[in-house]
């Protein structure tokens, strides 16, 4: 039974800001951030219209210009403070220093952390945009049974394993994930095998969030759509990595 609290967001936090940990990969970093407010979205739409006029169409605006626009507006309307971030000498990074870093391509990972933090403001923990569960189930079924496609076709319909259907409104995420899976890296590990021997094997890493962000930028997704893509791909990728770990034990 669905609970109404699942669909509620904290509008006050989105307007005024809250401290957010963007993810485990950022250690203890916390960012005081608003969500993507109406002011941010209105300013973004205005700047993109102007850029589109200069480039004769929004689909012709270079990715760098779109990124610069979004970063400028992120600093102006969204990011409020930062804590638990230090320089190499142990001194704390100030807000002004942090904002300067976000303009530097060498600190692209920090910029990604800000986008992730802003997308989490005012939302219930664990919320994945409503489609993560359906996509995870479909992916697990595909991983388990996809390689037997030819054999399954010879079975009677009632003998085939039930395959979860992907709703039409989630197809775009399903397709994006299958394109982006080629962006993942593989981690090479050495395992002691006795008698001085070593077994070398590789395991998949997660799809980089940078790849998801580039996909969203190229397709012109707004913050909400980009967040949904990110959350659903994280859910699907977690399912894939779990399945891959299970297969490695066989």
Q: Which pLDDT does position 159 carry in this prediction? A: 54
The dihedral formed by the CA atoms of 67, 180, 98 and 84, expressed in degrees to the nearest 10? 160
Neighbours of 89 (CB within 10 A): 5
pLDDT at 152 over 50: no
Every domain of the chain and the residues it spans? 4-120, 132-248
pLDDT at 126 over 50: no
Q: Give me the mean pLDDT over the 147-157 stretch.
A: 52
Q: Which pLDDT does position 175 carry in this prediction? A: 92
Q: Give me the mean pLDDT over the 169-198 stretch.
A: 77
CA distance 53 to 47: 10
Portion of the chain with pLDDT greater than 90, in percent: 26
What pTM, to 2 d.p., does this model score? 0.58
Q: How does pLDDT run across 3-39, given as a tens digit for each residue?
A: 666 667 788 888 999 999 987 778 899 999 998 888 9
CB burial of 190-226 (b: ≥16 within 10 Å; e: otherwise) equals eeeeeeeeeeeeeeeeebebebbbebbeeeebebeeb
């Amino acid at each position: 039974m669905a609970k109404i609290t699942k669909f509620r967001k904290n509008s006050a936090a989105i307007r005024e800001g809250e401290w957010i940990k963007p993810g485990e990969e950022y250690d203890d970093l916390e960012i005081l951030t608003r969500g993507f407010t109406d002011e941010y979205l209105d300013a973004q739409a205005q700047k993109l219209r102007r850029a589109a006029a200069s480039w004769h169409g929004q689909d012709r605006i270079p990715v760098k210009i779109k990124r610069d626009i979004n970063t400028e507006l992120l600093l102006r309307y969204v990011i409020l403070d930062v804590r638990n971030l230090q320089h190499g000498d142990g001194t704390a990074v100030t807000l002004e220093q942090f904002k300067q870093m976000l303009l530097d391509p060498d600190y692209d990972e920090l910029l990604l952390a800000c986008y992730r933090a802003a997308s989490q403001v005012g939302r219930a923990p664990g919320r994945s945009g409503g489609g993560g569960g359906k996509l995870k189930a479909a992916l697990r079924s595909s991983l388990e049974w996809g390689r037997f496609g030819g054999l399954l076709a010879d079975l009677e319909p009632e003998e085939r394993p039930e395959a979860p259907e992907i709703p039409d409104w989630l197809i775009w995420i399903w397709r994006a994930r299958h394109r982006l899976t080629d962006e993942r890296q593989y981690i090479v590990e050495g395992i002691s095998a006795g008698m001085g021997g070593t077994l070398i094997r590789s395991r998949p890493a997660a799809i980089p969030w940078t790849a998801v962000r580039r996909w969203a930028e190229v397709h012109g997704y707004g913050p909400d759509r980009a967040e949904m893509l990110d959350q659903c791909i994280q859910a699907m990728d977690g399912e894939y990595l779990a399945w891959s770990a299970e297969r490695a034990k066989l």
